[in-house]
Amino acid sequence: MKSLTKQIIFGLALLIVFCIQDIQAQNLMTNVFGRHILSLNGKWSAMVDQYNQGYKMALYQNKKPQGKTDFFEYSFDGALQLNVPSDWNSQLPELKYYEGTIWYGRHFEGNVDNEKRQFLYFGAVSYRCRIFLNGKEIGSHEGGFTPFQIEITDKVKTGDNFIAVEVNNTRSKDAIPAMSFDWWNYGGITRDVMLVSTPNVYIREYSIQLDKYKPEKINAQVVLSDKKPNSNIGIEIPELNIKLKLRTDENGIASTSFTAKKIKRWSPDSPTLYTAIISSVSDRIEEKIGFRNLYVKGTNIYLNDKPIFLKCVSFHEEIPQRKGRAYSEADAAMLLTEAKALGCNMIRLAHYPQNEYTVRLAEKMGFILWQEIPIWQGIDFTDASTLIKAKSMLAEMITRDKNRCAVGFWGIANETQPSVERNKFLTTLLQTGKSMDTTRLFVAAFDLVRFNRDKKIFEMNDSFAAQLDVVAVNKYMGWYQPWPLDPKDAKWNVTPNKPLIISEFGGEALYGQSGDETVASSWSEDYQAKLYKDNITMFANIPNLRGVSPWILFDFRSPFRMHPANQEGWNRKGLVSDQGIRKKAWYIMHDYYLKIK
């Protein structure tokens, strides 16, 4: 009876959350950069609201004193100025550790046009927010790493308009990530804000992708904003002599498959992109799109019908020298250039969807990408609302980047512990992802590999792994646990019938620190370098190993890491220091990648 009652309560909770989501949700438009946009970046007025009184005081109405006795304690007049996009923690010393609410506000000039629809588009706000326009709440969003949009066609005014955004980055049990995570909890409007104009009936979504297996078959779909049947749709790829005319069905959707001969497929060695033009009666969008085949066969990963070994590295969306979030194309170039110098053909964008500038530039530079949502340890898998949030984040990530051929992997979890609830949660996520995109490989990272001392072999027991296309393992041999045997004798039997990626390995070292290479507590570059050599020796004994990804490219900020002499709020596992200087282990990894063809 108790079990039945729990199921009823869980079902009701799901229904309530679904209703809330339906009220708030707006379908994201594909390729916002290809639209008519007005940037709302720059200096925004801001007010710290530590006790969450701003809403009660109607700060969002931006009232002005009208008489001699009027005054407002909560006001944007004379407020501090914060950069948008950026996090607030890196802009003022007083906000370095701040977790709570800050209100942002700014004016913009609007223009009512009956032939246009208008949207506010946020690249990301960390972590939850409510949006107000001209004194009225118009929308909200939860999730610090994915975009969202709010239509303001019937709310914007010609002339002066005022936006207020209540932003809160307080950690909570039902959030994603949850209460604790090994990176800085940056708060703020961390990515671009744009005013987007479209025709009344616009091209909301489209996908133009090479078939998973067939090298000359392209599958395409175009979705209009309204259910307009029998509307003309055009798809052009001039360099391939493709020019198609389609008509929408009763749902305003046009789908087709066609053959395109002489496609030069995208790869890390040759990141070819083609101009694609998508048009309707009233709308036209143009962007660069690449084509590639990516699939698994046996224990191999095939890119364009050839087995590939993934020479990967991870980095956070952070510029260590600035001690703040990365948010611009220049920031993306800095991070990606260092990965290119290391010899990588792949990047794991850990542990959350990163800036669109990074994704698009990575594609141009020839990186395969693994993108994931922050299902990072500590997630409450019994909470119905948490599952809804996870599905929403996954959908927003896939929608934004489904035309980016560089994205080869969708990651759905990192270092989660097996349980009935967890398996059900991740299975639902996997089903959600595959219902949206089957051209990518689905992966999760596990930290469950254990050494079987009787068999003298490394093994993993997790039934969920069988559902994935590729299995990844985080294993810090020589750091969090000592080597149980000589690295050259370390045999592995982990998911032997699937491709395996070592998605994290390494150890911490303070740049410039020398010490005994056999003593972990030396925190020395020498110990880190020896650790990398030992891991590389072990890799030769993993028969289904198809990629490795050291953790991590740069030292990064983390309140987890407070050793007063060697960490000081930094995770020191980087191959490159927080000052941007390469450690000894960087050169070992570089030489290893150089030898792999």
Residue 93: Cβ-neighbour burial (10 angstroms; 0-12, 13-18, 19+)? exposed
**DSSP class of 580:** S
pLDDT score at 17: 41
Under CATH, to which class is 2-199 assigned? Answer: mainly beta
List beta partners, residue 198: 117
- Domain limits of the chain? 2-199, 203-292, 304-501+532-552+586-595
List beta partners, residue 179: none
| C-alpha–C-alpha distance, residues 378 and 178, integer Å | 6
- Which CA distances in Å does 344 have to 10, 78, 333, 538? 45, 48, 15, 20
Q: Which two tokens stand for residue 36?
A: 């008519």
Nearest CA among 516, 499, 568 for reference residue 310: 499
Nearest CA among 388, 323, 328 for reference residue 354: 328
Say if CB 149 and CB 118 are below 8 A apart. Answer: no
Instruction: Please enumerate in sequence order all residues whose Cβ is within 8 A of that of 297, keeping only pairs 6 or more positions apart, or say none.
Output: none
How many residues does the structure list for the chain? 597
| C-alpha–C-alpha distance, residues 90 and 125, integer Å | 15
| C-alpha–C-alpha distance, residues 39 and 42, integer Å | 9
Q: Which two tokens stand for residue 166?
A: 């209540």
| C-alpha–C-alpha distance, residues 55 and 135, integer Å | 11
Say if CB 558 and CB 571 are below 8 A apart. Answer: yes
List beta partners, residue 43: 83
| C-alpha–C-alpha distance, residues 364 and 272, integer Å | 8
Say if CB 327 and CB 321 are below 8 A apart. Answer: no
| C-alpha–C-alpha distance, residues 324 and 339, integer Å | 19
Q: H or E element: which one contains 243?
A: strand 242-247
SS3 292: coil
Q: Which residues of the chain have pLDDT under 50?
A: 1-25
Strand intervals (E) in 373-477:
407-414, 441-446, 449-452, 457-460, 470-474
| C-alpha–C-alpha distance, residues 296 and 303, integer Å | 9
Backbone angles phi, psi at 159, to 5 degrees: 105, -145
Buried/exposed code over 463-499 (b: 16+ C-beta within 10 A; e: otherwise): ebbebbbbbbbbbbbbbeeeeeeebeebbbebbeebb
List beta partners, residue 504: 474
For the chain, the helix, strand and coil percentages under 3-state DSSP, each to the nearest 5 = 20, 30, 45
3.10.20.30, 3.20.20.80, 3.40.50.150, 3.40.50.300: which CATH number matches 304-501+532-552+586-595?
3.20.20.80
Task: Reduce the secondary structure of 157-187 to three states and give it as a string.
Answer: CCEEEEEEEEEECCCCCCCCCCCCCCCCCCC
> For residue 273, which amino acid is it?
L
pLDDT score at 280: 97
Nearest CA among 312, 317, 375 for reference residue 348: 312
Say if CB 335 and CB 167 are below 8 A apart. Answer: no
Backbone angles phi, psi at 499, to 5 degrees: -65, 140
| C-alpha–C-alpha distance, residues 266 and 555, integer Å | 31
Half-sphere exposure of 281 (CA within 13 A, CB side): 13
pLDDT digits (tens, 9 = 90+) for 550-576: 999 999 999 999 999 999 999 999 999
Taking domain 203-292, whether its CATH number is 2.60.40.10 is answered by yes
| C-alpha–C-alpha distance, residues 22 and 10, integer Å | 18
Instruction: Please enumerate in sequence order all residues whose Cβ is within 8 A of that of 393, keeping only pairs 6 or more positions apart, or say none.
Output: 143, 145, 146, 176, 353, 373, 374
Task: Please name the residue ranges forming H helices in 234-353.
Answer: 329-342
| C-alpha–C-alpha distance, residues 23 and 435, integer Å | 22
SS3 354: coil
